[in-house]
A and B are shown apart, each in its own frame.
Chain A
Amino acid sequence: MSTTAPVATPETPAPAPAKRHRSQAWDTALVTLLSFVTALVIGAILIAIADRQTRDSFQYFGHYPGDTFRFAWSAIWHTYQALFYGAVYNPNTASHGTLVGYLGPISETLTNATPLIAGGLAVGVAFRAGLFNIGGQGQIIIGAVFAGFVGFHWHLPAGIHLVAAVVAGLIGGALWGGLAGLLKARTGAHEVITTIMLNYVAINLLGYLLSVRGFQAPPYGQAIANPVDSNAQLPLLLGDSMRVHAGLLLSIAAAVVVWWLLTYSRLGFRLRAVGANPAAARTAGMSVENSYVVVMLISGALCGLAGVSQVLGTNPAITGDIDSGIGFDAITVALLGRANPVGTVFAGLLFGGLRAGSPLMQAYAPNELVQVIQALIVLFIAAPAVIRAIFRLKTSGTSVGADLAKGWNG
């Protein structure tokens, strides 16, 4: 049985490991960066097309082509400038000389990034164990409901109340995620289907709860729950004028824990083995079913943390929109972060920035464009062959796209 692949023989040593690893990481980072840049470039074209002045001037393009380019450039520049102002640093507000003027945009980016990081870690860790958790939305909602309920219904001393509410949120998310894991382990039901369905259950459960007295805040009639006790709220990090809260620290801590789990722990070894080759894991005596349940409990708890940071931090009362698309953006974040905790933190910050910048961008371009750009980034990352073709990079290693496809089959 000769294989066509030539084997490494003593005469043809494989390249040195250090070099090889570095180049692979570099390659991944490069493709990711280029995906982002390409998405921005295509976004720029769309901004120009969406700009009325540019379109109008195009009608006399033959006479004054300069106008088209000037208007297009202006629209693109202003839009991306607004994105930067909203997400990183805004010289207009900074000139007020206040702290919020300087740090307001960063605070917004961090606030938006907080649940995205937690959610991205959730999707990423499931990914590493071979599961595709699309149930972030439902798990975030249930986590938020648990945390929010403990937050407004119980009245405990400062400190203890916060811990109780956070733990409740983690448990809520874990239960919702673990349910999908249990269904997969016991019956083989595909997690993609069960998590999507559990999303619907969670959304509608939330809708129902928000109409129930005792849950709903007076004056009744609005779909908003009782506000969370101040004792149970996550402390603000930069004073009352800025929204960034201690949820950020929890998300970062979660990233560290997940990194440790995947790199140095026994459990992580098992989860990774199950994710990479369930047949070999089973042959080596690992329980694949148990691993599915465990990783979905962890993944759900991390989504629960995203819910916690929403309901105890950013917006301290449960509303119908408590998830605000985080559950699905988390998939994007995990993809962009290559299911790696460090990468996920950066991807979360990037997407937090895009979310923070989009309100200011609306003055220059339709808000939908931000989402289009996000979608394009993911598109290019999921199909790295496109980026490699555009920039004529050599193929190497496996793509996250391939991993994603495997996740679907698993």
Chain B
Amino acid sequence: MKLELRGITKRFGSLTANDHIDLVVEPGEIHALLGENGAGKSTLMNVLYGLYQPDEGEILIDDVPVTFAGPGDAMAAGIGMVHQHFMLIPVFTVAENIELGHERVHGILPRIIGRLDRRRARREVQEISERYGLAVPVDALVQDLPVGVQQRVEILKALVRDAKVLILDEPTAVLTPQETDDLMKIMVALKESGTAIVFITHKLREVRAVADKITVIRRGKVVGTASPDSTPAELASLMVGRPVKLNVDKEPAQPGGAVVEVEGVRILDDGGAVTVDDVSFTVRGGEIYALAGVQGNGQTEITEALVGLESVDAGRISVAGADVTRMSTDHILGLGVGYVPEDRLHDGLVSSFSVAENMVLDLYDQAPFSGRLNLDLKHIAAHAEQKVEEFDVRTSSIGHAASTLSGGNQQKVVLAREMSRPLKLLIVAQPTRGLDVGSMEFVHKRIVAERDNGAAVILVSSELDEVLGLADRIGVMYRGKIIGEVPAGTDAEEIGMLMAGQTAENGETAS
């Protein structure tokens, strides 16, 4: 099946998200759609999947124009989509999830009180998973499966519905390096069996590894196509529209005295399960310590404990010589700690507040931003103007609500705020998540600058490239423990293995 998009244009009010986009996907090819955040990749795919109607242009399947009123039409036409956030029901089994929506039933009035034909469903799922070499435990509950396997279930869902074109929207964002490799293998296998794949991503390495064709989108327009042989730098500059430096420029660290000392910390979640288990590490001034790991292995909890947002069950944490194990967040921040939370919209910003208000969210009660009772709106505004300038936050007014900013600019607001006072410790969690290559470069530069000013930096990241590029020392977390601590320059594969729970000594999964 050949899929063609011709002159697709989609506008939202005054914004043109897709501007006359042409795209041809041949059977049996992996077509990468590369672009920054907000470039219009997802909009285009939503048009293709029938979720949006294009304002102009047409979709052709085997040279015949078609219109999709909704995802149902797209699916019927052989287009399958795997969303970035899985659409699975956690308490259903794999087979149930795959059959969902086109279940086989029998009985007297099958449409109303039909009985599910579970046997046939299992058989069908079994069969299709073998045909494509996508191993899944058919009877396991989805909630018990690792993310990578859940993703396979999503892919199978599309294949069961006879998808000839598979859209994968940022499929590797949630995967470990190993799972990513597995996915790549699956993609190649699918391609060889004749399925076309549209692969949406902004990760250059992956594109170069599997794509047959690369289409780069910038600001809603196709700015070019590239071959997989292009260098990362070429692809990046095509994406961003200017030359981009991909490596982080930094001098070797000059560590000073210990700033953070974490000793035997254990943290329990609300249900009493251990999320952080006997974790100890030390971070010195002037070095970047990375807590690497796949998300959900305790990194979030330990960083929240560092700033007093999570209560510590056992162990001790000290920051800049003060015992902060039971200290309030307010006091900890007052010690000279900057904290950029992982989820900036949820924890870092008040999205209905203006940019100026957000710039002082944790400084509003200090001079010069307030007196005894009142706020000093003039100082707050002046501060915001200056930071917006310094951090190149793209907003037409500091009075705009933070929700009107793009993700990258929101992140810059949080960073600008946290870096606007002298820091002894900077904690940054997933600082470049969702950021495009251009903003990423800037954020990395600022983090290194803080280090060079003598601050201790704790970096939490699930991006291996980021960890490798920034960190001076790396602690890898797996299931609540630090299972390995390695110096900068350790090779990616070893860290990737650690992230998957494999230590070099035993070579098997630690748990």
Say yes or no for B56: interface residue by CB 8 A criterion: no
Q: Which B residues are in CB contact (< 8 Å) with A2?
A: 35-39, 41-42, 169-170, 200, 202
Q: Is the interface of A mostly helix, strand, loop or mixed?
A: loop
Q: Does B352 contact A (CB under 8 A)?
A: yes
Q: Which of A256-288 contact B (CB under 8 A)?
A: 264-270, 272-273, 276-277, 279-287
Rounded to whole Å, the gap between the CB of B479 and the closest CB of chain A is 25
In the bound complex, residues from chain B placing their C-beta under 8 Å from that of A265 are 373-375
Q: Chain B contacts of A277 at CB under 8 A?
A: 346, 349-352
| B331, closest chain A residue (CB) | A285
Contact of B37 among A7, A21, A266, A283 (CB under 8 A): A7
- Please state if A284 and B200 are interface contacts (CB–CB under 8 Å): no
Instruction: Identify which of B374, B395, B400 gathers the most chain A CB atoms within 10 Å of its CB.
Output: B374
Contact at A17–B397, with CB atoms within 8 Å? yes
Q: Kindly list chain A residues whose C-beta atoms are within 8 Å of the C-beta of B408.
A: 7
> Is B84 close to A, CB under 8 A?
yes
B362 is an interface residue with CB less than 8 A from chain A: yes
Q: A285–B373 Cα gap in the complex (Å)?
A: 18
Task: List CB contacts (< 8 Å) of B1-49 with chain A.
Answer: 12, 14-17, 35-43, 46
Q: Which of A14-69 contact B (CB under 8 A)?
A: 14-17, 20-21
Decide yes or no whether A95 CB sits under 8 A from chain B. no
Q: Mark B142-157, 1 if CB is under 8 A from A, else 0.
A: 0000000000000000
Query: Once the chains bind, are B220 and A264 in contact (CB under 8 Å)?
Result: no
Complex CA distance for A283 and B427, rounded to whole angstroms? 12
Q: Tell me the smallest distance from the CB of A3 to a CB of chain B, in Å.
A: 6
- Report the nearest B residue to A264, measured CB to CB: B374
Q: Which residue of A lies closest to B170 (CB)?
A: A1
Q: Is the CB of B347 within 8 A of A279?
A: yes
Cβ contact within 8 Å between A9 and B328: no
Q: Is B329 an interface residue (CB 8 A)?
A: yes
Contact yes or no, B347 A16, CB < 8 A: no
Q: Which of A396-410 contact B (CB under 8 A)?
A: 398
Q: How far is the CB of B38 from chain A (nearest CB, A)?
A: 3
Chain A residues near B329: list those with CB within 8 A.
282-285
B365 touches A266 (CB 8 A): yes
**Cβ A8 vs Cβ B346 within 8 A:** no
Is B330 in contact with A286, judged by CB distance below 8 angstroms?
yes
User: From residue A225, how far is it (CB to closest CB) to chain B in Å?
Assistant: 38
| A276-B350, A283-B347, A285-B333 known; A6+B38 contact, CB < 8 A | yes
Complex Cα distance, B339 from A2, in Å, reads 25
A4: interface (CB < 8 Å): yes
* With known contacts A2-B42, A4-B43, A14-B395, A280–B347 Cβ distance under 8 A: yes
Query: Complex: how many Å from CA A4 to CA B42?
Result: 5
Q: Which of chain A's residues has its CB closest to B52's CB?
A: A4
Pick from B200, B202, B333, B364 the residue with the most CB of A within 10 Å: B364
Q: Are B350 and A266 in contact (CB under 8 A)?
A: no
Check A280/B406 contact, CB under 8 A, given A285-B333, A287-B330: no
Contacts of A219 in B (CB 8 A): none
Interface residues of B in 355-381 (CB under 8 A from A): 357, 361-362, 364-365, 370, 373-375, 377
Q: Please give, as numbers and ranges, the residues of chain B lying within 8 Å of A7 by CB-CB distance.
A: 37-38, 406-409
Instruction: Say whether, besides A2-B200, A266-B365, A266-B375, A17 and B12 are in contact (CB < 8 Å).
Output: no
- How long is the Cα–Cα vector from A7 to B347 in the complex, in angstroms? 21
**Cα–Cα distance between A16 and B396 once the two chains are bound (Å):** 7
Interface check B341, CB cutoff 8 A: yes
Give A152 to B397 CA distance when docked, in angstroms.
57
A1-B374 in contact (CB<8A)? no
Q: Which residues of A contact B35 (CB under 8 A)?
A: 2
Q: Is A10 an interface residue (CB 8 A)?
A: yes
Q: Is the CB of A17 within 8 A of B399?
A: yes
Interface centre among A21, A266, A276 (most CB of B within 10 A): A266
Tell me if B219 is interfacial: C-beta within 8 Å of chain A.
yes
What separation, in Å, do the CA atoms of A270 and B369 have in the docked complex? Answer: 13
Interface string of B376-403 (1 = CB under 8 A from A): 0100000000000000001111011000
CB-CB < 8 A to B39: which residues of A?
2
Q: Mark B179-198, 1 if CB is under 8 A from A, else 0.
A: 00000000000000000000
C-alpha spacing A190/B361, complex, angstroms: 26
CB pair B43–A13 under 8 Å, yes or no, is: no
Residues in A with CB closer than 8 Å to B433 are 1
Partner of A1, one of B46, B332, B362, B434: B434
B404 near A8: Cβ-Cβ < 8 Å: yes
Q: Does any Cβ of B come within 8 Å of A11's Cβ?
A: yes
How far apart sit A12 and B19, CA to CA, in the bound complex (Å)? 14
Please give the distance in Å from A11's CB to the nearest CB on chain B.
7
Query: In the complex, A199 Cα to B180 Cα: how many Å?
Result: 58
Contact A269 B375 (CB under 8 A): yes
- Give the chain B neighbours of A15 by CB distance below 8 A: 396
Q: Taking CB as reference atom, which chain B residue is nearest A15? A: B396
Check: A5 CB closer than 8 A to any chain B CB: yes
User: Across the interface, which residues of A come within 8 angstroms of B334, CB to CB?
Assistant: 285
CA distance A273 to B348 in the complex (A): 11
Whole-angstrom CA separation of A284 from B357 in the bound complex: 12
Q: Are B84 and A17 in contact (CB under 8 A)?
A: no
B486 within 8 A of A: no
> Which residues, 123 to 150 on A, are CB-close (under 8 Å) to B?
none
Which residue of chain A has its CB nearest to the CB of B372? A266
B92 at the interface (CB under 8 A from A): no
Asked if B405 is at the interface (CB within 8 A of a chain A CB), the reply is yes
Bound: A3/B169 CA distance, A: 10
Residues of chain A within 8 A of B223, CB atoms compared? none
Q: How far is A2 from B216 in the complex, measured between Cα atoms in Å?
A: 14
Give the distance to chain A from B506, nearest Cβ to Cβ, in Å: 35
From residue A13, how far is it (CB to closest CB) to chain B in Å? 5
Q: How far is the CA of A395 from the CA of B214 in the complex (A)?
A: 39
CB of B381, distance to nearest CB on chain A (Å): 12
Asked if B442 is at the interface of the complex by the 8 Å CB criterion, the answer is no
- Chain A residues with CB under 8 Å of B377's CB are 264
Interface centre among A6, A9, A11, A16 (most CB of B within 10 A): A6
Q: How far is the CA of A284 from the CA of B361 in the complex (A)?
A: 6
A285 partner residues in chain B, CB cutoff 8 A: 328-334, 362
Which residues from chain B contact A17 at a C-beta distance below 8 Å?
A: 396-397, 399-400
> Residue B244 at the A interface, CB < 8 A?
no
> Which B residues are in CB contact (< 8 Å) with A10?
394
- The residue in chain A whose Cβ has the minimal distance to the Cβ of B329 is A285
Scan residues 246-274 of chain B and give those whose CB is less than 8 A from a CB of chain A. Answer: none
Question: Given A3-B38, A265-B375, A266-B374, A8–B350 Cβ distance below 8 Å?
Answer: no
CA distance A269 to B358 in the complex (A): 11
The 8 A-B residue pairs with the shortest CB-CB distance in the complex, in nearest-first order = A7-B406, A7-B38, A285-B330, A284-B362, A17-B397, A285-B329, A284-B361, A277-B350
- 30 cross-chain CB contacts under 8 A: A1-B84, A1-B170, A1-B173, A2-B39, A2-B42, A2-B169, A3-B42, A3-B434, A5-B12, A6-B40, A8-B396, A9-B38, A15-B396, A17-B399, A20-B400, A266-B373, A270-B364, A273-B361, A276-B351, A280-B347, A280-B349, A280-B350, A282-B309, A282-B329, A283-B329, A283-B339, A284-B361, A285-B332, A285-B333, A285-B362
**What 15 additional pairs, Cβ within 8 angstroms, besides A6-B40, A266-B374, A280-B347?**
A4-B42, A6-B15, A6-B16, A6-B43, A8-B406, A265-B375, A266-B364, A268-B375, A276-B352, A277-B351, A279-B347, A283-B348, A283-B362, A284-B362, A285-B329
Interface residues of A (CB under 8 A from B): 1-17, 20-21, 264-270, 272-273, 276-277, 279-287, 398
